[in-house]
Amino acid sequence: MFTDLLAMQDLSSQELIEVLNLADQLKYEKKNGIPHPHLAGKTLGMIFQKSSTRTRVSFETGMYQLGGTALFLSSNDLQIGRGEPIEDTARVLDRYLDGIMIRTYAQSDVEKLARYCNIPIINGLTDYCHPCQVLADLMTIREHKGKLEGLKMCYIGDGNNMANSLIVGGLLAGMSVSVATPGAYKPHQQVLDFASGKDFLMTEDRFEATKDADVVFTDVWASMGMEGEAEQRRRDFAGWIVDGKLMSYTKKDAMVQHCLPAHRGEEIAADVFEAHAAEIFDEAENRLHAQKAVMVKLMA
């Protein structure tokens, strides 16, 4: 049984499906007014070293719906921002809280937090991965397509945190995963090693990756913290847009998913975004349900 969610690799295929099943159940209960106070009396600390709309609001309201409380802890206000080591912060927060969600830069900081805490740690995004997002994505695909196994997922764009988690999540779910990135922007080597020998294609040809796909994913060209490289990246990614032409290579009923925020006219064309807006905002909603399932699994 997983005791933290630091990366998608923490989950087995079976645990992944169990989380998705619980997420479906919690969504049903929420929609039907059935209370589910699994975390009554518990407190989640939410450490943010980067901006957030979805992650912050969905964790906070999710914790409230589960009967618990969430504390928003901006790194500007914590002593971490003034140099208090993670090791000490961890051993203090461990005495007060029942779980921590952290959004930061280095994956090693999240791992260090987990090493020094006994309470569960949930990764709310690092430069390396974004597992909570990918749980919501898989939940959304299963809702729309009725299954995951055997479907073809493709990811087009930067080999970033989203790409890393999607590759692992898709493969754990039994999907066929194809990724196209411009040469220098490949996913993390650890993830490529995980994917090696599985139903995985890595290419620089975005049309090949998209061919007969059931689900198309993309994400921003410059992630949080990469603002200084944005101009260079705009040049390197020129033409790497999910538009009508690229979508003509997919299956006819293909879905489009985007973790948001989206940059229309860069990684995704406005008309493709709007044509798939219902699926994309279902995906955003499912952050709430999927993360509630993670919190119940780890903290109840």
49 binds ligand NVA (CB under 6 A): no
Our answer to whether residue 287 is catalytic in this structure is yes
Rule CB under 6 A: which of 190-219 touch ligand NVA? 219
Q: Residue from 138, 259, 294, 298 that binds ligand NVA (CB under 6 A)? A: 259
Catalytic choice (49, 65, 107, 133): 133
296 binds ligand NVA (CB under 6 A): no
Shortest distance, position 118 Cβ to ligand CP, whole Å: 27
**Total residues interacting with ligand CP, rule: CB under 6 A:** 8
Q: Residue from 27, 38, 54, 188 that binds ligand CP (CB under 6 A)? A: 54
Our answer to whether residue 65 is catalytic in this structure is no
If the CB atoms of residues 111 and 137 are measured against ligand CP, the closer one turns out to be 137
Q: Residue from 89, 107, 123, 160 that binds ligand NVA (CB under 6 A)? A: 160
Catalytic choice (103, 206, 233, 258): 103
* Number of neighbouring beta carbons within 10 Å of residue 293: 25
Beta bridge partners of 156: 180, 218
294 binds ligand CP (CB under 6 A): no
Name the closest residue to ligand CP (Cβ): 55
53 binds ligand CP (CB under 6 A): yes
223 binds ligand NVA (CB under 6 A): yes
Catalytic choice (4, 127, 158, 219): 219
Our answer to whether residue 259 is catalytic in this structure is yes
286 binds ligand NVA (CB under 6 A): no
Shortest distance, position 245 Cβ to ligand CP, whole Å: 26
Map tokens 């919690």 to a residue: 26
Which of these, 78, 79, 59, lies nearest to 69 by C-alpha position? 59
- Where along the sequence are the contacts to ligand NVA (CB under 6 A)? 125, 160-162, 219-220, 223-224, 259
* Active-site amino acid positions: 103, 130, 133, 219, 259, 287
